[in-house]
Each structure stands twice: as C-alpha cells, then as structure tokens.
Amino acid sequence: MADQGAAAEIAAGYATEGAALEIGAVVVDGTVDPGARVRIPFATLNRHGLVAGATGTGKTKTLQNLAEQCSGNGVPVLLADIKGDLSGLARAGESNDRVTQRATDTGDDWTPTAYPVQFLSLGEGIGVPVRATITGFGPILLSKVLGLNDTQESTLGLIFHWADQQGLALLDTKDLRSVIQHLLSDEGKEALKGIGGVSTSTAGVILRALVNLEARGGDKFFGEPEFDPADLLAVEGDGKGRVTLLELADQQADPMLYSTFLMWLLAELFEDLPEAGDIDKPKLVFFFDEAHLLFADASKAFLDRIEQTVKLIRSKGVGVFFCTQQPTDVPNDVLSQLGARVQHALRAFTPDDQKALSRTARTYPKSLVYDIETSLTSLGTGEAIVTVLSERGAPTPVAWTRVRAPRSLMAAIGEPAVTEAAKASPLWGKYGVPLDRESAYEKLSAATGATGAPAAPPAAPVPEGQPPQPAPPQAPPPSQDEEPGMVEKAMANPAVKSFVRSLASQLGREITRGLFGTSRRRR
C-alpha cells in the first residue's frame, strides 16, 4: 500500500494559483495517486526545460502531451519532428484499454482531440518549404555550416562586408560563389586589395565548402522567400495555439544545417519580439526533439551563443524544451538554464552509462521518498522523475510521475496526408514557390557578360549527373608558384590574427546588425 500522505505532500509542492500544464500523477511505492497532480505553471514555461530518457521510454509522447496542452491554452508551439511520429497531433486520438487505464491512473478526463498543425520542411520536403538567405545567416553561422576554420571565417566576414558595401545581395549559394570568384578575377583585383587580399587557396576552400553544402541540399535551403518567424506565433480562431511541426527526416544526415537553422530562428525571434517581462503564459514554446543534434560537433563559440540565446530569449516570452536521450547530451551551461526536468528511464549497461546515471541523479533536489539513482533505472514506460519551478520560482519536490496520455493520435498520419495539409496551409502561398530575384550573381554576370551559374572551383570537380563528393574543409598548401595571400601571412602573427578576427566580427555585425550575427529583418 502506497504512502498516500507522501504522495499528497509531494503534490502540494506543485499546487498553483494560475493556469498550469498537467504532466501526470504521483507514484509512491509502485502505486499511483490520481488526486496527487504534477504540473508545470504556465508562468514558468519560459524558464525552459528538458525531457530526457532512453529509447522507448515515452519521452516523445510526453512532448506530444505538453505541446497539446500549450496549444489548448492558446500558446503556439514549434516541434522539431525528426522521426515524423508527431504528425498525429493533427488528428484526434483513439481510445483503447491502455489509454483508458492511463486516464484512470492520472485522474484525467481524457477526450480525443485534434490540434491545428502546420508542417514545415527545410528547403524541400513533405511540408511547406522554409528558407533563409545567405545574408540572413551571416558569416558566423554560415562558417559553422561550411566547417570553416578561424582564418577562413575571418576571410568570409571580409567578403560579406565588401558585398554589402557594393549593394550585392547574397541570397543563395551562387551569389556567394560569384562574389568570391569575382574578387579572384582580373576585374576584381583592385577590390581584393581594398579588403586586405584573399589567397586563392583560402577562396578555394570556401568555394569547395559551398559545393559540399549544395550537395547536402543547402542550395534548396538558402534563398527566398525567407521564412518569417512571426508565422510561428499564430493563434487560431477557436483560441488554440498553432502547432508547427518541422519535419526533419531528410536533414538527419546534416545536423550542422539543422542546428544552425534553429539558432537562426531563435536569434530572429529575439531580435523581433519586444521585451515581455513576467507574463501568465509564454508567447511561444519550442520543443526540440533529438536535441543532441543541436550540440553535436559544435564549437565553443557556437555553444556560447546557444547559452546566451537560452538565457535571453526568456525575457521575450519564449520557452525552450530540449528532448534527448541523456541529460549529458546538453552542455552544463545550457542545462543549468532549464527550470523543468522530466526524466524518463535511463539505461545503465556500460561504465559510461553508469557514470551518466550518477551525474544525472546528483542534479536533482534531495528526496526523502525516493532513491533517485535507483528510481531512474526502475521507471516504467510513460513514467518520469519530475521537478519543475513553482510559481514563486523555487524547485518543486522530486516526483515519480505517471504521465498523462496524449489526446491526439499517437501515430504518424503518413507523408501523403502531411503533404496535403502543407499545400492546404496559407503558408504554402507565401513560401511554396522559390524566388530568384536580382542579386549578386545577376549583377556581376551583367557587369562581366557572363552567363550561366558560376562554376565550381577546379579543385573540386563535380562529375555530370552525380552530386559532388564531400571534401574536408581544410585549406591545401599553396602551390610552388603561388604566394600566400595577405590574410594568410597576417594570420601567422597571433596579434594580427586576433585583430582581424575582431574586425571580421565587427563587420559581420555591421552587415547583419543583429546581436547574434544574423540579419535584422525589415518588415
């Protein structure tokens, strides 16, 4: 027999005066108390959160459950749906014995419900295509996508600055290629001297990286019309917040592009949204499934920007929830910013697993009811160890929680249905057809009389009919008859290197005028 007094005492720590998002009910000694509710106050959702757990433990269904309640309370949400199994949000759920039992266990008046969903895809896919311009990303984020080193990033910043001075819009990859090739041509020699000189070896590296990016689908993602993050903030006529699903199945092989897009999106929201202060519920909540892709192979500078974004975006009324297998997938500096923790079962089959388990257990408040480390390996499917921030900002007691069942369909609706819904969306008319207006490529082609797309650099030939093979983004040594450019010579001096990097960063801010190096939107 469970200690119902202990369950009630834990639940008392989750009592709220304002609206709250219901997670489930408290479990003590293996027995659930339907009256002992575990919830997150809507007023603290912009303090961010983490949903973690091993494969098959129910974390994605927890995301679905939380997203449903946000939508039902008029809060728009964005979910990165890498596996495609969240598309069921668009349809009402189906009752069965397991759903009925879960509703009884958690004291939930379960009702099948569908939610307003719009489907997006990066560049091309089954959803509404979303794009960003090269200029919009800026040299810092684009350097991450291209895998450039410090010297190459500095050079790219100088190239961006020159293009901006000349009024040459960098909208897609061929624009950037044409600018670089122009600077290396006879016509561009004088301009090249004016920005400090760029050697052909450095330019070749950047050009080859662009070819590789195009092979990964970047040429479909970079361009216009550029996505307006304001389209994530819609509330439907019935008062439900719109659910935006970013279908990412085709981007799993390119986490660099995926992660930088998310960074760009958050940065754009930060620039666009006014300060919100303390509000009863957030303006938007991000739920990032498979969050390890966001942090994998990220440089320290990029991680610093993520940490800064997470810290500052809460003041604009935006909440961010990461979903991943291990809490250790999230850097400590970011993890420390997450107020809500919903930890599903962890596996401890290897020494590394054991170490991660111990580290995770130590991050929870002390509990007189549970042995946290033992509990984390004993949770059933759809159960989680939970602690959140109360309305007064204090951590709640640790609660072994049986999570509510989602009210929408707990299955994918299939690609044909997603495509049909995407084409019926009002966003399709806005973003469905790519634009190719006059930009750097067209202006430079007109000036030189060149026709056709700019050629790929000779060092990275692309066989006809085949995608270019990825090449490591590292500069080859100069040939015997080629002298290193001025940038490479200067970079041999640490003091000059530091100055040029600082200059490139400043130039990037002049181009984009955004705190995070992204383009300021003018609407």
- Residue 336 pLDDT: 87
Any bridge partners for residue 340, and if so which? Answer: 49
The token duo for 210 is 């662009």
* Strands across the sheet containing 243-247: 31-41, 20-28, 399-403, 383-387, 340-343, 49-52, 318-324, 284-288, 77-81, 243-247, 117-122, 128-130
Residue-wise pLDDT for 251-272, tens only, equals 555 667 877 888 888 888 888 8
Most confident of 41-45, 264-268, 334-338, 460-464: 41-45
Phi-psi region of 152 (alpha: psi -120 to 50; beta: other; left: phi over 0): alpha
User: Does residue 208 have a pLDDT over 70?
Assistant: yes
> Which of 376, 398, 424 corresponds to the end of one domain?
424
Does some domain include residue 335? Answer: yes
* 451, 497: one domain: yes
> Which of 371-375, 472-476, 510-514 comes out lowest in average pLDDT?
472-476
Parent domain of 505: 134-223+433-458+489-512
Does some domain include residue 11? Answer: no
Q: Which amino acid is at 193?
A: K
> Which of 50-64, 231-245, 297-311, 507-521 comes out lowest in average pLDDT?
507-521
Residue-wise pLDDT for 14-34, tens only, equals 999 999 999 999 999 999 999
Backbone angles phi, psi at 285, to 5 degrees: -125, 130
* 292, 341: one domain: yes
Higher pLDDT, 66 or 521: 66
Q: Are strands 20-28 and 243-247 parallel, antiparallel or unpaired?
A: unpaired
Q: Tell me the CATH number at 48.
A: 3.40.50.300
Give the separation between CA 354 and CA 219, rounded to whole angstroms: 43
| C-alpha separations of 337 from 270, 375, 397 in Å | 17, 24, 18
* 270, 122: one domain: yes
**pTM score:** 0.82
Does some domain include residue 467? Answer: no
> Which of 128-132, 143-147, 291-295 comes out lowest in average pLDDT?
291-295
* 251, 339: one domain: yes
Instruction: Name the domain count of the chain.
Output: 2
pLDDT above 90 covers a percentage of the chain that reads: 46
Does some domain include residue 470? Answer: no
Does some domain include residue 112? Answer: yes
* 329, 212: one domain: no
* 125, 141: one domain: no
Torsion of CA 262, 264, 268, 271, to 10 degrees: 120
Question: DSSP class of residue 197?
Answer: -
* 139, 125: one domain: no
Q: Are strands 340-343 and 284-288 parallel, antiparallel or unpaired?
A: unpaired
- Residue 514 pLDDT: 56
- Residue 18 pLDDT: 92
User: Does residue 286 have a pLDDT over 70?
Assistant: yes
> Which of 424, 447, 470 corresponds to the end of one domain?
424
Helix orientation angle between 200-215 and 150-165, rounded to the nearest 10 degrees: 90
> Which of 402, 424, 446 corresponds to the end of one domain?
424
pLDDT band at 404 (very low <50, low <70, confident <90, very high): very high
Residue 219: CB atoms within 10 Å: 17
* 76, 149: one domain: no
- Residue 449 pLDDT: 64
Give the separation between CA 402 and CA 57, rounded to whole angstroms: 12
The token duo for 42 is 């809507």
Does some domain include residue 518? Answer: no
Does some domain include residue 517? Answer: no
- Residue 506 pLDDT: 44
Listed residue (112, 403, 130) closest to 268, CA to CA: 130
Question: DSSP class of residue 327?
Answer: G
- Residue 100 pLDDT: 96
Give the separation between CA 523 and CA 472, rounded to whole angstroms: 39
Does some domain include residue 8? Answer: no
Give the separation between CA 84 and CA 272, rounded to whole angstroms: 29
Dihedral sign of CA atoms 129, 135, 136, 139 in order: positive
* 341, 393: one domain: yes
User: Does residue 471 have a pLDDT over 60?
Assistant: no
- Residue 516 pLDDT: 52
* 47, 164: one domain: no
Q: What is the DSSP string of 27-60?
A: EETTEEEEEEEEEEEGGGGGG-EEEE--TTSSHH
pLDDT band at 445 (very low <50, low <70, confident <90, very high): confident
Q: What are 312-316's contacts with CB under 8 Å, separation 24+? A: 312/270, 313/46, 313/266, 313/269, 313/270, 314/46, 314/47, 314/48, 315/275, 315/276, 315/277, 316/269, 316/270, 316/273, 316/274, 316/275, 316/276, 316/283
User: Does residue 103 have a pLDDT over 60?
Assistant: yes
User: Does residue 83 have a pLDDT over 50?
Assistant: yes
* 406, 309: one domain: yes
pLDDT above 70 covers a percentage of the chain that reads: 82
Please compute the mean of the pLDDT values over residues 465-477 and round it to a whole number: 40
Give the separation between CA 222 and CA 358, rounded to whole angstroms: 43
Most confident of 206-220, 392-406, 476-490: 392-406
Give the separation between CA 312 and CA 468, rounded to whole angstroms: 40
* 67, 82: one domain: yes
